[in-house]
Structure 1
Amino acid sequence: MSLVLHPDPQQPTGGYGFLELPGSSLPDVVTLAVQDAYSERWLTPVEEARVEIGNPNWQPQKSSFGPYEVLRHDGADWVRIGPEIVNKLEEYTPLMIEVDGRAFNVTWPDTIPPRAGLAGLGGLQTVQPKPAPAPEPEVKRPPDPTPVEVLEPDIETEPQKRSLLWLWIVLLLLVAAGAAAWFWTREESISLPINTTPVSNNESCSLSALSALPGFATQLEALRSCGRDVSPDTALKLIEDAAETEDPLALRVFGTLYDGDQLDPRIENLIGLSFADDPARAVEYYARAVEAGDTQAKSLVTATCDRLKGSSQTLEKGAYDDFCR
């Protein structure tokens, strides 16, 4: 059994990640321990008000983090960790991670970045007042300089000086315009990809190959098997096309992508297709899935309606009235 490390797509600024263990063999709650494979020292929790980046507390004595809830999906166990661990590990560090007493040798990836300034666990810390700054010594002003006689400009050379001055002004304006054009061109060329993992040239995972498979259930199974070999755009196109035909499974998957309390790890973590939490849109897709004949979506409608109940937001109140009454 191997341990796979993933970033949390709901936290693009870093600080959170997932541990994936194939096979559902973990209890509902587990603890973790992290050891540096070279020094054989253990990462120890630090009692601080905010979890800063770096300065890991490595100790000879074994320490545990947690407890963490275990999520079950697609035949695997998933454990979500936070900045108490992520912020203290450097990329490419060889580690031994114990999950519920089982040891796994891994290398910490560069795809799970730390996140600065995240609040940590523990009590409030007393902030010591800063001492008042010492008064600055009085600086004596130097005596005024002796007045210098200003000579009248030479009438014959003044036009030449003015011409040179205008020439310099024009050159400076041209340089500034060129720098501004370069800056805006650079800004427009920058884009943030949804999934930074390169897509392979696996022809069986192309949009045309996946679209040719019979039925969305078969397409979704192949989509999950392809994982990182599929781009988020390809996955979204397949799900959208099936949802337009009121396919119940596609509608339920759409609801999951909008539901912050649900996770499809292979679609959201491996492929990188994930949306911001929007319970109003999630319950709409869940309700459409139920109406299309998906019995599994009924419990998801109930859970999402519990989240929407009592909301003061206009869209969420409207969704509750439309799909929860």
Structure 2
Amino acid sequence: YYLQADGRLLDGGQSPKTKAAALTYAFSTLSLSADEVVTVYDSDTLLPPDTFSLAVRGLEEYDVVQAKQTVRNHADGWLPTLEAMGIAAWSHVIYASTSEGPYQLLGKGYFFEVGKLYAIGGWDADEITEDMTLGVESYLNGYELGVVDRYVQDLCPTNFADWRRQKRRWVMGPYKHLLNERLSGRDRVRFWAFTVANQMLSLTNLIGVPAGIYVLWRTLGGRPFAFSTALTVVVALNFVSWLYYSLRTYAATRDAVSFESRRDAVRFYVLANPFTQVLYATIWVVPILGAMWRFARGEDVEFEITPK
């Protein structure tokens, strides 16, 4: 079942208030047996055909299975280009590492057996970030998450204002769960590390990127800074970490992103590379700060259908 971009109508001519409401309506009106499998994807997304068979096979071992994510309209502008590589790398390297939990689901491309979805009450119809809530609830009920090595191909907004609003909603999703009393101390630390701490990496770019450019400029001008041994070790470790992540980024992108021609691929990799990914990580500061500001003011996440 999917919620169409113009709002799928429910009985009485009312549009669903949230995506979760549409999913709940479909789940409650369809006749499904406990051993059938339910998956969710948006009407503008594509999945490799074998995703379904691999996910069903994965449900023999795991309670819920989630596909990875990328962007298919990478030729539509600089934002989709950067996001195609950035989201593929994040879901391959970072998200896959969160499968021990607490975990979130990614809004599309996840699979449940009907009986297990019934057992935890399905979706909360009033939730805007229903995938985050469903993921945390699944974890708290002991459900194990498996990540299938296939990429859902989504559409990225080409307009920065639309992109900012969408990402602000995504960023705010975890905040209400950070102090969840049902999470153990260890779980809370892991959840903070994979949400807030991960977001802080983008914020540090506001200082780190200009500082790095300045140090490089001084070095190229023959006036390098004298670093202590300890700082040199830190810089070396950061470089090794960046190199490792860059290699895994290219590996993820190779598997996730398809091209119509060699020229299309060359254009993509000229614009999307480890250096421009620093820019991509930095522009996330805008929705992150917006989300933090709204959260601090006690404002709720707003449901919006993002133009794509």
TM-score bracket relative to the smaller structure: under 0.3
Greater Rg by CA = 1
Higher relative contact order (CA 8 A, sep 6+): 2
- If each structure's strand is expressed as a fraction of its own residues, which one has the higher value? 1
Q: TM (normalized to structure 1)?
A: 0.23
Q: TM (normalized to structure 2)?
A: 0.23
